[in-house]
Amino acid sequence: MKDWRWAFLGLVCFGLVLRIGAVERGRGQPTERISGSAGDVLEDDPVGRLKVFVYELPSKYNKKILQKDPRCLTHMFAAEIFMHRFLLSSPVRTLNPAEADWFYTPVYSTCDLTPNGLPLPFKSPRMMRSAIQLISSNWPYWNRTEGADHFFIVPHDFGACFHYLEEKAIERRILTLLQRATLVQTFGQKNHVCLKDGSITIPPYAPPQKMEAHLIPPHIPRSIFVYFRGLFYDVGNDPEGGYYARGARAAVWENFKDNPLFDISTEHPTTYYEDMQRAIFCLCPLGWAPWSPRLVEAVIFGCIPVIIADDIVLPFADAIPWEDIGVFVDEKDVPNLDTILTSIPPEVILRKQRLLANPSMKQAMLFPQPAQSGDAFHQILNGLARKLPHDKSVYLKAGEKVLNWTAGPVADLKPW
Ligand SMILES: *[C@@H]1O[C@H](CO)[C@@H](O)[C@H](O)[C@H]1NC(C)=O
Ligand SMILES: *[C@@H]1O[C@H](CO)[C@@H](O)[C@H](O)[C@H]1NC(C)=O
Q: Is 285 left (phi over 0), alpha (psi -120 to 50) or beta?
A: beta
Instruction: State the ligand closest to the CA atom of 400.
Output: 1
Rounded CA-CA distance 134/125 in Å is 14
CA of 146 to the centre of ligand 2 (A): 17
User: How far is the C-alpha of 346 from the C-alpha of 13, rounded, in Å?
Assistant: 10
What pLDDT score was predicted for residue 289? 87
**Per-residue pLDDT, 14:** 45
- Measured CA to CA, the distance from residue 56 to residue 319 in angstroms comes to 31
* Residue 347 exposure: Cα atoms within 13 Å on the Cβ side: 0
Q: Whose CA is nearest to atom 12 of ligand 2?
A: 404
Q: Which ligand is nearest to the CA of 403?
A: 2
Is 148:390 a contact under the CB 8 Å cutoff?
A: yes
Report the separation in Å between the CA atom of 200 and the middle of ligand 1, taken as the mean of its atom positions.
28
CB distance 119 to 111 below 8 Å? yes
The CA distance from 310 to 327, in Å, is 12
Q: What's the CA gap between 62 and 151, in Å, rounded? A: 16
Q: Determine the distance separating the centroid of ligand 2 and the alpha carbon of 405, expressed in angstroms.
A: 8
Which pLDDT value is given to residue 24?
41
Classified as helix, coil or strand, 245 is helix
- Mapping DSSP onto H, E and C, the string for 341-371 reads HHCCCHHHHHHHHHHHCCHHHHHCCCCCCCC
Is the CB of 404 inside a 6 Å radius of any atom of ligand 1? no
CA separation for the pair 150, 384 (Å, rounded)? 10
CB count within 10 Å of CB 196 equals 18
Q: Is the CB of 198 under 6 A from ligand 1?
A: no
Amino acid at 310: D
H or E element: which one contains 90?
A: none
User: pLDDT per position in the chain (416 positions), as tens?
Assistant: 334 344 444 444 444 444 444 334 334 456 665 555 455 677 788 999 999 999 999 999 999 999 999 999 999 999 999 999 999 999 999 999 999 999 999 999 999 999 988 899 999 999 999 999 999 999 999 999 999 999 999 999 999 999 988 899 999 999 999 999 999 999 999 999 999 999 999 999 999 999 999 999 988 999 999 999 999 999 988 898 888 999 999 999 999 999 999 999 999 999 999 999 999 999 999 998 898 899 999 999 999 999 999 999 999 999 999 999 999 999 999 999 999 999 999 999 999 999 999 999 999 999 999 999 999 999 999 999 999 999 999 999 988 999 999 998 999 999 88
Residue 130 in contact with ligand 1 by CB distance below 6 A: no
For ligand 2, atom 11: residue with the closest CA:
404
Nearest-atom index, ligand 2, CA of 407: 2
Query: Residue 42: what pLDDT?
Result: 79
Residue 412, number of CB atoms within 10 A of its CB = 21
Closest residue (by CA) to atom 5 of ligand 2?
407
Q: How far apart are CA 158 and CA 344, in angstroms?
A: 33
What pLDDT shows up at residue 298?
98
Atom of ligand 1 nearest to the CA of 401: 5
